[in-house]
Chains A and B, each alone.
Chain A
Amino acid sequence: MATLAVSGERKNYLNAEYGIRSWLFTTDHKRIALLYLLSITAFFFIGGFAALLIRLELLTPAGDLLSADAYNKAFTMHGQVMVFFFLIPSIPAVLGNFLIPMMVGAKDLAFPRINLISWYIYIIAGILYIHCLVTGGVDTGWTFYPTFSTEFSNTKVIEAGLAIFVSGFSSILTGLNFVVTVHRMRAPGMTWSRLPLFVWSHYATSIIMLLGTPVIAITLVLVVLERALNLGIFDPTRGGDPVLFQHLFWFYSHPAVYIMILPSMAVISEIVPCFSRKRVFGYNFVAMSSIAIAAIGFLVWAHHMFVAGISLYSAIVFSFLSFLVAVPSAVKVFNWTATLYKGSISFSTPMLYAFGFIGLFTIGGLTGLFLASLGTDVHIHDTYFVIAHFHYVMVGGAVMGYLGGMHFWWPKISGRMYPEGWGRLAALIVFIGFNLTFFPQFILGYLGMPRRYWQYPPEYQVLNVLSTAGATILAVGYLLPMVYLLWSLRYGKPAPDNPWQATGLEWQTSSPPPTFNFDETPIVTQEAYEYENMPLPEEVTLER
Chain B
Amino acid sequence: MSDSPIVMEHAEHEARPELRHHFADVEQQRNAASLGMWWFLGTEIMFFGGMFCAYLIYRRWYFEEFAAASRSLSLGIGTFNTTVLICSSLTVAMSVRAAQLGNRKLQVKMLLLTLVFGLSFIGIKGIEWHKKYTEHHIPTFDYNVISGEGSLVKGNEHLLGIDKVENDPVKLRERKVEIQQHTKIFYSLYFALTGMHAIHMIVGVGIFICITWMAHKGRFTPEYHTPLEIAGLYWHFVDIVWIYLFPLLYLIDRKPIS
Contact = CB atoms under 8 A, between A and B. Distances in A.
Interface in B125-165: 139-140
Given A214-B44, A520-B6, A239 B62 contact: yes
A180 B185 CA distance: 39
Contacts of A107: 21-22
A212 B46 contact: yes
> What band does the interface of chain A fall in when counting residues whose beta carbon is under 8 Å from B?
35 or more
Given A176-B36, A180-B39, A241 B57 contact: yes
Interface in A97-114: 106-108, 110-112
Interface string B233-249: 00000000000000000
A53 B58 CA distance: 42
Nearest to A237: B181
Residue with the greatest number of chain A CB neighbours at <10 A, chosen from B35, B39, B51 = B39
B15 to A, nearest CB: 19
Given A225-B188, A225-B192, A217 B47 contact: yes
B40 interface: yes
Given A217-B47, A222-B192, A232-B181, A110 B36 contact: yes
Contacts, number: 111
A180 B36 contact: yes
Contacts of B28: 184-185
Given A180-B36, A218-B50, A210 B189 contact: no
Interface string B167-189: 00000000000100110110011
Contacts of B47: 214-215, 217-218
A221 interface: yes
B153 to A, nearest CB: 17
A184 B50 contact: no
Interface string A205-236: 00000111111011101100100011111000
B43 A232 contact: no
Interface residues of B, number: 40
Contacts of A239: 61-62, 178, 181-182, 185
A324 interface: no
B46 A215 contact: yes
Interface in B50-65: 50-51, 53-54, 57-58, 61-62
B57 A244 contact: yes
A112 B28 CA distance: 15
Interface string A187-218: 01000000000000000000000111111011
Nearest to B178: A239
Given A177-B36, A241-B58, A516-B21, 9 more contacts: A180-B36, A185-B28, A215-B47, A222-B51, A225-B188, A231-B140, A239-B178, A248-B53, A516-B22
Interface of A: 106-108, 110-112, 172, 176-177, 179-180, 183-185, 188, 210-215, 217-219, 221-222, 225, 229-233, 238-241, 244, 248, 251, 516, 520-521
